[in-house]
Amino acid sequence: MSVRLKIVLGIVFGILLIDQCLKIYIKTHFILGEEHVIFPWFRIHFTENPGMAFGMEFGGFWGKLALSLFRIGAAGFGIYYLRKIILQKMHLGYIAAISFVFAGAVGNILDSLFYGLMFNESFMEPAHFFPVEGGYAGFLHGKVVDMLYFPLVEGYFPKWVPIWGGEEFAFFRPVFNLADASISLGVILILLFQKKFFGEEKTMDISSTHQNSDAA
């Protein structure tokens, strides 16, 4: 097994294991909307997202179905692309970044595919794992469990600010999960180190071209 494949498997299965364990624990121990303050800027706040990442919604029955099918298609493309860049022996950092994105996407896909079948609703009491009465939704219509909340800065807009003057604000407001964080990490790594990830390959190509020209 190549080093690149080991990196992919390690990241993907590591992220999926931690992500799913955390989600299942939150789902079976927290009531919807329950919040535990670890630090003022770090809280565990249980919410469920029927749509996209960071609490954004893609509503309705058909919207949810379309989103789930899109996620499955994207995951299939992710497998193809990871295989491609492993065979091409791309930069280890780039492979790791794509692995983080892929792992996060699959983590949320699992919620959408199976959580509606595996759990009942979390109102008034924590959900039960495989309840006798059945789950809260059908296949492909599960809600994504979110719990990480980082209100790093909280306060009120000054009165003179148009529209929002005097209203409360919080940064960072969205509630998300480890899968979302994994996707974001992968994208950030690509943006920050794109020259390093792709520059070496270009340098090698240029060097090879010069060597061939000299030989000729």
Sort residue 124 into left (φ over 0), alpha (ψ -120 to 50) or beta.
Answer: left
Of the residues 19, 111, 180, 214, which is catalytic?
A: 180
Of the residues 19, 111, 146, 214, which is catalytic?
A: 146
**CA distances for 103 relative to 21, 143, 184, angstroms:** 14, 18, 11
Angle at 138 between CA 133 and CA 140, to 5 degrees: 150
For the question of residue 111 being annotated catalytic, the response is no
From the number of C-beta atoms within 10 Å of its C-beta (0-12, 13-18, 19+), residue 97 rates as buried
Sort residue 100 into left (φ over 0), alpha (ψ -120 to 50) or beta.
Answer: alpha
Residues involved in catalysis: 146, 180
